[in-house]
Structure 1
Amino acid sequence: MKWKEGVYNMFATFKMDLPESAGEIREQYYKKGLKVYSAHKQKVKESLDRYLSVDGELKASEIEKDWFPSFKADVFLSHSHKDEKDVIAFAGLLNDIGLTAFIDSCVWGYADDLLKQIDNKYCVSKTKPDGSVDTYDYQRRNQSTAHVHMMLNGALLKMMDSTECLIVLDTPNALKAKDISNGTTNSGWIYSELLMSKFLRKTYPIRKSMNFALSESVRHDGLSVEYDADIKHLMIISMKDIINATEDGKYSGLGVLDQLYFTKGLCEGK
């Protein structure tokens, strides 16, 4: 399968440690990343009231459209919520070199807000004298949670498939590595993202500058679940690799990704 110029599908999967200079990067790029992050977050918040139709049906397509807007991102950033400030700063750095990053935590934080709105309308089993919620129906509550998480997971899959590369921010908050190819994570979302990235179709970008051919070298106090995380398909990169790929400003945008792929043996030059 080949791409037309400018059409994205997942091609490369990476994992990256935070550099020792992460504090400096956060200070320099956080505000820039936060500007994009905040705008997306506000749009999600404003759209909450539109998710329930007059007849009480959830509009799955509308949720996906609003929570995962139909914009093209170059890079999908997978991370722990505890590393949110660092991933926002990293997105700001990517933006500075001409790459658009998708940060999934822009929207996951509102999953609970959406569930609360639905549960207050459809899952209340008992109210207090003042009209506030006393208890929820257990079965209805389970069903609403399952539906919302299923829709968001589907939307996440579509968004990941539409970006060209995935970068997992590899920190102790996200992954507990057993060795280079296996680890564990306590995040169901990260586990889902890793699983998707392993089995998503890989499609080579068609760009004049490169000949793409795969190289052979190629906080919650309650329930805590540990998932086995298969990470052997993630190629290790560093922040330095990304900066070096700009070649002191010679390359920007997709050109940076091309240089990164080239240095990692994922493609050949002209």
Structure 2
Amino acid sequence: MDIAFRTNTTVINQLAGMVSENDVKAIALQRLPFKKKMRTLVIPSDGIIKGDTLKDAYFPSGLFDGSNYDVLISHSHNNEKEAHLLAAWLKKYKKLSCFVDSFAWGSADQLLKEIDDKYCYCKHRKTYDYKKRNFTTSHVHAILSMALLETILRSKFCVFIESSESVPLNSGLKKKTLSPWLYEEIKYMQLLQPQRKTKMFSEGLEKAISDCKIAYDVTDISQFPFLDYKDFANFNNGSLLLD
């Protein structure tokens, strides 16, 4: 990864009028039939799930032809629409391939349920074994974490979509997210990119949607250069934005 940037939903909505529903659908068509593919992987003939094989098949870190993505788009699940719009715009006008997890990967929860239904469900109790569930969850999350790291490493640029959904807690220059996955993505991007001095920004506040609230400091995103509407017009080469 060369560098991580950030933008926000306001900027992306300025691009929305230039992207059609068919442009978004064209990106979604590259998705693989994960459910059919993973059945043979989670129920192997020898009884041992191959973690590396499962990761490469279910969470591929590159395009289906083996090449790398140009841009990884990091976003809140609630900003999926904006992520799709940005990916479609970059593909249509900049000819850049974009990684958006909902298009490129299967659902981690779906994968976990497939494994748990096979190995953790107690038929006579009609419930799942707590200890076994903890064990399978740790494996799936480790597989997902490594796949995420590989994808960030292989992508040329990363763009984080900042919003009241992705970073709902702000206090002065401090920014916090309630998503452990966004926290992990931001940390990977911050640690893997060259260190650069940038201006600091902060935005609004939104209430959490979960009763269990665990906040993660993601103030590091302030180190990512901010992309506005004009910047995206020059996004052929990220270095142009650092002059």
One-letter identity of the residue aligned with 1:264 = L
- Superposed CA offset, 1:28-47 (max 9, x none): 2443123222432x433332
* Cα distance in 1 between the residues matched to 2:172 and 2:95: 31
Computed over aligned residues only, the root mean square deviation of the Cα atoms, in angstroms, reads 2.6
One-letter identity of the residue aligned with 2:46 = D
* Count of aligned pairs between the two proteins: 227
State the partner residue of 2:216. 227
So what's the TM-score if we normalise by structure 2?
0.82
On the 8 A contact 1:31/1:89 being kept in 2, the answer is no
Q: Secondary structure at the match of 1:39?
A: coil
The yes-or-no answer on 1:139 pairing with 2:118 is no
* 1:179-258 equivalence runs, <5 A: 182-200=174-192, 202=194, 221-229=210-218, 230-243=220-233, 245=234, 256-258=235-237
* Cα distance in 2 between the residues matched to 1:148 and 1:47: 16
Q: Which of the residues 18, 22, 25 maps onto 2:16?
A: 25
* 1:28-47 equivalence runs, <5 A: 28-40=19-31, 42-47=32-37
State the partner residue of 2:203. none
State the partner residue of 1:268. none
One-letter identity of the residue aligned with 1:197 = M
So what's the TM-score if we normalise by structure 1?
0.74
One-letter identity of the residue aligned with 2:216 = Y
> How big is the shift at 1:101?
0.5
> How big is the shift at 1:172?
0.7
Task: Note the residue ranges of structure 1 that are not aligned, 5 or more in a row.
Answer: 1-9, 129-133, 203-213, 246-255, 266-270
The yes-or-no answer on 1:154 pairing with 2:146 is yes
The yes-or-no answer on 1:65 pairing with 2:44 is no
Instruction: Compare CA radii of gyration and give the structure with the larger one.
Output: 1
State the partner residue of 2:102. 105
Task: Note the residue ranges of structure 2 that are not aligned, 5 or more in a row.
Answer: 200-207
State the partner residue of 1:92. 88
* Cα distance in 2 between the residues matched to 1:150 and 1:216: 32
* Cα distance in 2 between the residues matched to 1:30 and 1:171: 23
State the partner residue of 2:40. 50
Return the structure number with greater helix share: 2
> How big is the shift at 1:263?
3.3
Identity of aligned residues (%): 26
